[in-house]
């Protein structure tokens, strides 16, 4: 196939398959990622703002200074909110984030691309990685972030993909498995890792029980969360209240216990980063779960019901159930979002098949997992009404009202209007 055709296929996949994602990562192994960036910038139908990371982007304030300077040449008022808080010397992390997102929102009222090029220049800056992660979660609906990097950025891609906020584009394919390049076969040492539910690990088919506390096991799950992690990221997540020397000492003790429990060096240190030993074959249920979500969302997938069902079956419970560390609670919410999507989509398919009772059961499972998402409550109320069970629709609504009242809240306007329509 000619080069122009290959580039066109990559461009078409970007337009068709990545349009709903808040962030698109151009995979480092993609042969045409830089050409694709050029094509996006030259597309007369696409509004683009561009920033190339540089050697001076060593921390968040330096990054904000550079991007404010460069974007001012593309949009004269960019940086208005950041400058109001004197971001170069003042402002908390939250204030910087809020001001930056406000400036991005004012770039255009129409949909636009925001390209971060040469992103790997910021690989060593922990605070920039954390800042960009929070920006992704708060991007205005008109904005799509495109990241071009020679390395896989240290962001939690799997959890972002689970929330339907990110996709990874490799030439003309959306990556749906092996997100971090972990070895999955052809190894003498085989690990099976299950994080959906209480969390456990099998080593060559046998359960690992010699953890010497819960921290070594959780450290392993934390290392699987991103392509690579730094020691400072680990210490901040696990021991934020300790001073640096104390946290480092506890980390090394925990790491030794992890290696002792599995009888080999699980975490290897390369170029300043820790990663799971690439010589080990690993099955991780999170990767399989998110892979099923990606395939179910793909327009070319013929049997979508099978993939949605696969995701539902893999979700054996909330992420690391029983633990409530801050990073665990965040990931639990992320993966739960994907699970609720799978249940809702399966319910939609069953309704199209005329299987209303089956659809109702799926939606009731969804609210038992998370009872705060009102669109699913409305679907349940409507289904009860369609089945001629108006009293159950009213009872469901009243239960929702009582729960919200206890929190000083009321149902959304759409929910109230649906209830009134059903009762009339």
C-alpha distances in Å from residue 104, one per residue of 48, 141, 238, 330 = 12, 11, 32, 25
Q: Which pLDDT belongs to residue 397?
A: 96
C-beta of residue 123 within 8 angstroms of C-beta of residue 151: yes
Q: Which pLDDT belongs to residue 257?
A: 97
Question: Quick count: other Cβ atoms within 10 Å of Cβ 55?
Answer: 9
- DSSP assignment letter at 119: G
Question: Quick count: other Cβ atoms within 10 Å of Cβ 257?
Answer: 18
| Exposure string over 262-272, b if 16+ CB within 10 A, otherwise e | beeebbeeeee
Q: Which pLDDT belongs to residue 183?
A: 81
Hey, which residues does 190 pair with through a beta bridge?
281
Q: Say which residue the tokens 């329509």 belong to.
A: 421
What radius of gyration, in Å, describes the C-alpha atoms of the chain? 23
* Distance (Å, whole) CA 218 – CA 106: 41
Any idea where the domains of the chain sit in the sequence?
3-174, 176-331
Question: At 25, is the secondary structure helix, strand, or coil?
Answer: strand
What's the CATH fold of domain 176-331? Answer: Arc Repressor Mutant, subunit A (1.10.10)
What's the CATH fold of domain 3-174? Answer: Rossmann fold (3.40.50)
**Strand intervals (E) in 84-133:** 112-117
Question: Quick count: other Cβ atoms within 10 Å of Cβ 108?
Answer: 15
- DSSP assignment letter at 205: T
Q: What's the chain's average pLDDT?
A: 94
Q: Which pLDDT belongs to residue 275?
A: 95
Average pLDDT, 10 consecutive residues per value, the chain (424 residues): 78 87 95 92 93 95 96 95 92 94 95 97 93 95 96 96 96 93 84 96 95 96 96 96 96 97 94 93 97 95 97 97 96 96 96 95 94 92 94 96 93 96 92
215 burial via Cβ count (<10 Å: 0-12, 13-18, 19+) = buried
Tokens standing for residue 173: 């394919």
Q: CB within 8 A of 217, min separation 6: which ones?
A: 199, 201, 211, 258, 261
Question: At 144, is the secondary structure helix, strand, or coil?
Answer: strand
Q: What one-character-per-residue DSSP string does 253-269 give?
A: HHHHHHHHHHTS--EEE
pTM: 0.94
Q: Which pLDDT belongs to residue 120?
A: 96
Q: Which pLDDT belongs to residue 1?
A: 54
C-beta of residue 282 within 8 angstroms of C-beta of residue 184: yes
Q: Which pLDDT belongs to residue 91?
A: 87
Helix H segments across 353-389?
Answer: 356-369, 374-386
* Distance (Å, whole) CA 308 – CA 302: 12
Q: CB within 8 A of 72, min separation 6: which ones?
A: 78, 79
Phi, psi of 228 (to 5 degrees): -145, 160
CA dihedral in degrees (369, 373, 378, 380; nearest 10)? -10
């Amino acid at each position: 196939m000619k080069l122009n055709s290959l580039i066109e296929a990559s461009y078409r996949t970007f337009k068709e398959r990545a349009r709903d994602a808040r962030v698109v990562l151009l995979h480092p192994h993609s042969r045409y990622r830089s050409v694709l960036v050029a094509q996006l910038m030259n597309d007369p139908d696409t509004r683009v703002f561009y920033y190339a990371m540089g050697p001076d982007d060593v921390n968040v304030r330096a990054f904000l200074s550079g991007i404010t300077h460069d974007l001012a040449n593309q949009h004269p008022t960019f940086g208005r909110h950041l400058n109001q808080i004197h971001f170069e010397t003042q402002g908390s992390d939250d204030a910087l984030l809020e001001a930056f997102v406000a400036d991005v929102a004012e770039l255009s009222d129409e949909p636009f691309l925001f390209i971060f090029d040469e992103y790997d220049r910021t690989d060593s800056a922990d605070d920039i990685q954390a800042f960009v992660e929070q920006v992704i979660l708060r991007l205005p609906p008109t904005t799509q972030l495109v990241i071009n990097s020679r390395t896989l950025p240290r962001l939690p891609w799997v959890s972002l993909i689970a929330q339907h906020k990110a996709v990874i584009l490799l030439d003309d394919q959306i990556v749906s498995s092996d997100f971090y390049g972990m070895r999955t076969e052809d190894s003498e040492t085989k690990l099976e890792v299950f994080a959906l539910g209480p969390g456990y690990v099998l080593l060559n088919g046998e359960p690992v029980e010699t953890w010497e506390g819960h921290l070594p096991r959780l450290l392993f799950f934390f290392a699987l969360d991103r392509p690579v992690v730094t020691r400072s990221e680990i210490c901040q997540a696990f021991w934020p209240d300790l001073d640096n020397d104390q946290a480092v000492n506890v980390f090394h003790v925990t790491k030794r216990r992890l290696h002792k429990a599995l009888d080999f060096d699980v975490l290897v240190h390369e170029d300043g980063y820790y990663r799971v030993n690439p010589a080990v074959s690993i099955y991780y249920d999170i990767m399989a779960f998110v892979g099923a979500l990606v395939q179910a969302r793909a327009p070319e997938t013929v049997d979508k019901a099978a993939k949605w069902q696969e995701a539902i079956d893999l979700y054996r419970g909330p992420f690391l159930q029983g633990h409530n560390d801050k990073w665990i609670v965040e990931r639990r919410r992320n993966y739960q979002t994907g699970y609720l999507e799978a249940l809702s989509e399966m319910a939609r398919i069953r309704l199209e098949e005329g299987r209303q009772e089956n659809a109702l059961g799926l939606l009731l499972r969804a609210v038992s997992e998370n009872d705060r998402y009102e669109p699913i409550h409305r679907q349940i109320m409507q289904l009860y009404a369609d089945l001629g069970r108006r009293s159950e629709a009213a009872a469901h609504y009243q239960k929702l009202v009582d729960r919200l009242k206890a929190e000083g809240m009321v149902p959304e306007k759409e929910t109230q209007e649906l209830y009134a329509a059903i009762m009339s």
